[in-house]
């Protein structure tokens, strides 16, 4: 369990590095692949709540350090209209919230139904981005929600969701290598025995 959790931390750090080289898709309303958030969401469904909260803290801290500590209010590529008083640490709370959302479907995931988890990754990204945008608007004191913003959030969520099977596959490989049990094979065997009996 410890080696698997440590490998997830390494995966998050690699995702943070790779995030720097992922371009914004201008043809899709400036949507982008949120690789760090994707790795966190896929990891949060495979671990227990304490490990998920540690990952939420690390991911939120690193995300804020990358985006909120640069120019006033954040990186202009991420925040088109920077908020002067956006506080460091809000991402940690948002990561924790979407992590618990993924934890809710952990029993289905552990039974081998990872497809639903893939869909929930898209929903979680959407919830994260909407919440973040609402926080920025609240801090700014002016609510603006255009159709382009909604499309950017939607396309970002869909794009990130489409890459989740790749991250799940990588996590299955890592779990197998370190002997961490993600799926409960015993549950499937018990259900088969009950059906046969």
Write down the domain spans for the chain: 2-196
pLDDT of 15 higher than 60: yes
Using CA atoms, how far apart are residues 83 and 80, in angstroms rounded to an integer? Answer: 9
Question: At which residue do the structure tokens 């990891």 appear?
Answer: 43
Using CA atoms, how far apart are residues 118 and 157, in angstroms rounded to an integer? Answer: 11
Using CA atoms, how far apart are residues 71 and 42, in angstroms rounded to an integer? Answer: 30
pLDDT 10s digits, 85-94: 557 788 999 9
- Cα separation of the two ends of the chain: 35
Counting every residue, how long is the chain?
A: 197
pLDDT 10s digits, 179-191: 888 765 544 444 4
CA angle 53, 107, 59 (to 5 degrees): 20
Q: Tell me what pLDDT residue 123 has.
A: 94
Instruction: For residue 143, name the pLDDT band (cuts at 50, 70, 90).
Output: confident
Question: At which residue do the structure tokens 């609510």 appear?
Answer: 143
Using CA atoms, how far apart are residues 141 and 83, in angstroms rounded to an integer? Answer: 10
Q: Could you say which of 2.60.40, 1.10.1760, 1.10.10, 1.10.760 is the CATH number of the domain covering 2-196?
A: 1.10.1760
Using CA atoms, how far apart are residues 61 and 92, in angstroms rounded to an integer? Answer: 6
Q: Tell me what pLDDT residue 80 has.
A: 57
* Residue 141, CA distances (Å) to 79, 83, 132, 135, 138 in order: 15, 10, 14, 10, 5
> Are 2 and 61 spatial neighbours (Cβ–Cβ below 8 Å)?
no
pLDDT 10s digits, 125-140: 999 999 989 888 887 7
Kindly report the pTM of this predicted structure: 0.81
């Amino acid at each position: 369990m410890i080696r698997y959790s440590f490998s997830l931390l390494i995966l998050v750090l690699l995702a943070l590095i790779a995030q720097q080289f992922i371009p914004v898709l201008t043809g899709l309303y400036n949507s982008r692949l949120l690789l760090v958030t994707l790795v966190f969401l896929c990891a949060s469904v495979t671990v227990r709540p304490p490990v998920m909260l540690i990952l939420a803290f690390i991911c939120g801290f690193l995300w804020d350090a990358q985006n909120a500590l640069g120019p006033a209010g954040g990186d202009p590529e991420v925040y088109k209209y920077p908020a002067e008083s956006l506080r460091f640490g809000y991402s940690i709370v948002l990561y924790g919230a979407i992590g618990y959302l993924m934890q809710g479907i952990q029993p289905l995931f552990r039974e081998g139904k990872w497809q639903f988890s893939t869909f929930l990754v898209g929903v979680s990204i959407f919830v994260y981005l909407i919440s973040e945008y609402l926080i920025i608007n609240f801090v700014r004191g002016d609510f603006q929600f255009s159709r382009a913003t909604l499309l950017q959030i939607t396309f970002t969520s869909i794009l990130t969701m489409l890459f989740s099977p790749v991250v799940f596959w990588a996590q299955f490989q890592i779990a197998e290598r370190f002997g961490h049990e993600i799926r409960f094979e015993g549950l499937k065997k018990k259900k088969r025995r009950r059906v046969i009996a």
